[in-house]
Structure 1
């Protein structure tokens, strides 16, 4: 391979890469010594700068590392052959950034596959501290790395040519390059997390991974744009929480705990992982009281969550974890706020449930009639602009409403949340909508509650959570009755457009680069508009009400709450 023409060499390698990707378990080339060949090419690439920069040789380390990663993806035998052939040292050179981020991407992928098997993990673990530190750094800064070195370079002629060619395979212009670069940066992060997980799941380097700055970065890492099964940063945090040292480190960061709590009250696919982390921390007496004050406030809204995906009795498990210190209706915790929350859980899940077991069908129907009457009174107050009275009436209805009347309670919670939105109380709106979504069947399926919680998160500046709820709302909206072929509401499309910039993978990298640029230009104020428009200032989206009754009167009276015209959605009736 080293003696043939460089163009032929690259052509052969790209063909071998396609074969490895499509037939990763075919033993033909591994048995012929392909790993030794790739090791030679990688060593030549990392040790002979003039050679690798000669013509098309620059493509060789990328393809060579990718071939190693593809063949070791599903086969222990191939992984062992690769390690015996000496692939780890040159892959580490690529991981160190000896060439560029493109080669780091395929190096961390290959090393992650080698670390997946016990027999090959030990060989890699010889370099444990360096590998873990390098991978942590790559996971944290990959978005800045790719953005600064590629995406932010607007002139396509100034971008590294072989990067462009590898990313687009020769097709597409600037837009395609940017989209693929985002995918590749996301893959770098996902594969870095996978490699770190291989150490953490074996109880290795826990204290090193639990660096407080890295934990904060970890708690904000999304899953993959392409690797949809990647559990994002929360997956690694959960692995850390299975160890005593990991729980202790995680519990020491209030910021990380709040991120986990926010995840537990969201419609993110990894919501259950956030709940798992909190339960692990609550069951450990060394960490319980460090997180209880924050976690109890969030978990209170989830105590009636029955099933979440394949997990059943989720709310029951949350209730047991919270009431460990609560015996016979009395709390042993002397912090007033926590004591209040625990008493509320006791009343809802134990006391009220016990009293309602003996309720007759006639009594239940009587309660239903009374609750509906109160709900109508609350609705009338709302449409007359008397929001405070509406809140009081919805609260009265909730206190009276039996737990069995699930649909009625969903409506009461969701309608009260709409009132809280109008009086600019997004925290209460998030709480009420979460309770409504917890008792909906299936969980997180009540469309209006999803939309209202999306608005509430938007008001709080929590773009990621708002986007997830908005996407779930659209999904629920268009699947209610497929025969009607409902169009996506315009106000939801508007919300998505506003949120995409804030949740863009490179959003923080763009902001940081812009701030640095402004600092270096003596306080130029050009970034002020960008920050206001794209990174903050989230507000409730305007929408047309579905119900026109008393429209003009409602507009006038709602204006006293500082809201623009029509900034509400029809109540669930």
Structure 2
């Protein structure tokens, strides 16, 4: 009997159980939750949770669990249900679903494992004492069975979430770590494959009848069409990947399974797992990489992955929310003498563009820190022998941001003002060259102006760098344009807030095929320049283009398309082979007929 029919029946008919000293108990869990007397409510709830796994009406059970999950999410720190046996109840329901497949396939029971695992995760996400209760109730064993793939990716999503919460607390970590090798391997596999799995099993199935019905119901509550289902599936796939990486981070933080996590193939895939654009609140992949970089073994493994280092370099020079994490990782690698010279040649020319940054994400004087790390052994006699290009770059860094800064400290306001006037005149000349189409002449003027412009005149330097970046882009020198715009954005207040530089760099990134970086810059450009007005058509076009290129399932879609084309090619090859063979036989017979008879 559901809550609504229960409410409309005779009051006495709604009472089915006699409780000593309390009278009759409602047959409906929702009615129990409405009880005002705290003593009666507590006793009834305890009984309801104890007997919930024996509920015969599958629809009522599914609705009850859905309600409990929402109740938990509304106040995950409320001790009422955890103190009355919610975890024991969920463990029984999970075990019943795993052991009794006939029961699981009956009506609405297929929803039970999903909601049961979700309730465990919701009540353990904030309070360690609830996590302890959950572990003591035996939740880990059934959660692991679901993680192994006993049902589907939908259940894995909430299971990984729950295990991640349990692994994040000191008091319950070891309970999860008892299965360390298996949990880590499964989490790595899920993180690396879940996007493909969700695409293959759900998103690529364009006929609604071919999609698993209860997956549709869980994703959108049966509301909306294919488009809404696809959007929600994208969000859930991203969450599944992020929560898998969070679970791995719990082990990496404890310096556990580092060598296993730092598998070369996995690190290569990890370089693209920042968390997904639909999960912009989770550091996910970059968060795990930073934790790995805190260990010596991890730094050694990361330094050997060229793809990962390049991804960190691109991230450190982008307007991504996790830019500071990319910088952190590179600095950790550069400060370690065993990894410094493996990554310096690559990372140097990215970090050079960031040396004038003041603060980023509560990291004060970040530019000075970068400068010190890059010049760490510049003046020492022994050590690594740099290439000529690297030596020149470091020498220029020393002259510009160490020696020049020392000289300029003694400059008075009058001298700074005089220099500023000269810089303005040179800039005007550069603008004239631009108007007449002499881009090389303009760049020469900008070079001279930047060389003269005092370091303390940050806004003026920002404009000069930005204008020079635009010139480089006009000449097709994309890397130089990105470098100049990055330097300009480091000088803006706050960082990454100069509209012209963002738009120039977004276009440059687009030319290089760095869609994610281009998208981030374009979004920031719109935020800075168009917060109160209409988004320009050219910016909307760029965002649309890059959103398509950075779609979470784009790689899975392309991979599926390649497989289909290869299959079609093999099929055509087979057909041609079959049709050619009879022709060959016929041609052979004709040749024999034309052959002269030796007796003639």
TM interval, shorter chain, is: 0.7 to 0.9
Shift in Å at residue 488 of structure 1?
1.7
Using the alignment, how far apart are the partners of 1:224 and 1:336 within structure 2?
Answer: 39
SS of equivalent to 1:327: coil
- Give the total of aligned pairs: 520
Shift in Å at residue 79 of structure 1?
1.2
Deviations 1:8-58 (A, max 9, x none): 222222222222222322222222222222112212222332321222111
Using the alignment, how far apart are the partners of 1:124 and 1:14 within structure 2?
Answer: 26
Over aligned residue pairs, what C-alpha RMSD do you find?
1.8
Shift in Å at residue 332 of structure 1?
6.4
Equivalent residue, structure 2, for 1:518: 565
Change (3 A) 1:354 1:163: same
- The match for 1:203 among 247, 255, 275 is 255
Q: Does 1:295 align with 2:351?
A: no
Equivalent residue, structure 1, for 2:222: 170
SS of equivalent to 1:287: helix
Deviations 1:354-397 (A, max 9, x none): 22222233322222122112111111111211212121221121
- The match for 2:429 among 370, 374, 377 is 377
SS of equivalent to 1:522: helix
Equivalent residue, structure 2, for 1:258: 310
> 1:78-97 to 2 correspondence within 5 Å?
78-97=130-149
> 1:52-67 to 2 correspondence within 5 Å?
52-67=104-119
C-alpha contact (below 8 Å) 2:341/2:384 kept by paired residues: no
Q: Does 1:347 align with 2:415?
A: no
SS of equivalent to 1:433: helix
Larger RCO, structures 1/2 (Cα 8 Å, 6+ apart): 1
C-alpha contact (below 8 Å) 1:200/1:206 kept by paired residues: yes
- The match for 2:546 among 494, 499, 506 is 499
C-alpha contact (below 8 Å) 1:326/1:332 kept by paired residues: no
> 1:107-146 to 2 correspondence within 5 Å?
107-146=159-198
Equivalent residue, structure 2, for 1:76: 128
Deviations 1:204-245 (A, max 9, x none): 111111111111222211336565431131111000000000
Equivalent residue, structure 2, for 1:334: 386
Using the alignment, how far apart are the partners of 1:524 and 1:503 within structure 2?
Answer: 32
C-alpha contact (below 8 Å) 2:246/2:284 kept by paired residues: no
- The match for 1:236 among 288, 299, 303 is 288
Equivalent residue, structure 2, for 1:424: 476
Equivalent residue, structure 1, for 2:92: 40
Q: Does 1:283 align with 2:320?
A: no
Using the alignment, how far apart are the partners of 1:19 and 1:229 within structure 2?
Answer: 24
Change (3 A) 1:459 1:149: same
Equivalent residue, structure 1, for 2:17: none
- The match for 1:8 among 39, 60, 74 is 60
Change (3 A) 1:514 1:445: same
SS of equivalent to 2:125: coil
Equivalent residue, structure 2, for 1:508: 555
Shift in Å at residue 505 of structure 1?
1.2
SS of equivalent to 1:326: coil
Equivalent residue, structure 2, for 1:219: 271
C-alpha contact (below 8 Å) 1:518/1:524 kept by paired residues: no
Shift in Å at residue 523 of structure 1?
7.2
Using the alignment, how far apart are the partners of 1:32 and 1:141 within structure 2?
Answer: 38
C-alpha contact (below 8 Å) 1:329/1:343 kept by paired residues: no
Using the alignment, how far apart are the partners of 2:387 and 2:571 within structure 1?
Answer: 48
SS of equivalent to 2:337: coil
C-alpha contact (below 8 Å) 2:276/2:552 kept by paired residues: no
Shift in Å at residue 437 of structure 1?
0.7
Q: TM-score, normalised by structure 1?
A: 0.88
Shift in Å at residue 124 of structure 1?
1.0
Using the alignment, how far apart are the partners of 2:435 and 2:467 within structure 1?
Answer: 12
Change (3 A) 1:331 1:352: farther
Where structure 2 has 5 or more consecutive residues not aligned to the other structure, the ranges are 1-52, 573-600
Larger radius of gyration: 2
Q: TM-score, normalised by structure 2?
A: 0.84
Single out whichever of 85-94 and 228-237 deviates more from structure 2: 228-237
Using the alignment, how far apart are the partners of 2:156 and 2:87 within structure 1?
Answer: 18
Q: Does 1:181 align with 2:233?
A: yes
Change (3 A) 1:333 1:115: same
C-alpha contact (below 8 Å) 1:331/1:342 kept by paired residues: no
Equivalent residue, structure 2, for 1:541: none
Where structure 1 has 5 or more consecutive residues not aligned to the other structure, the ranges are 480-484, 526-573
Single out whichever of 487-496 and 290-299 deviates more from structure 2: 487-496
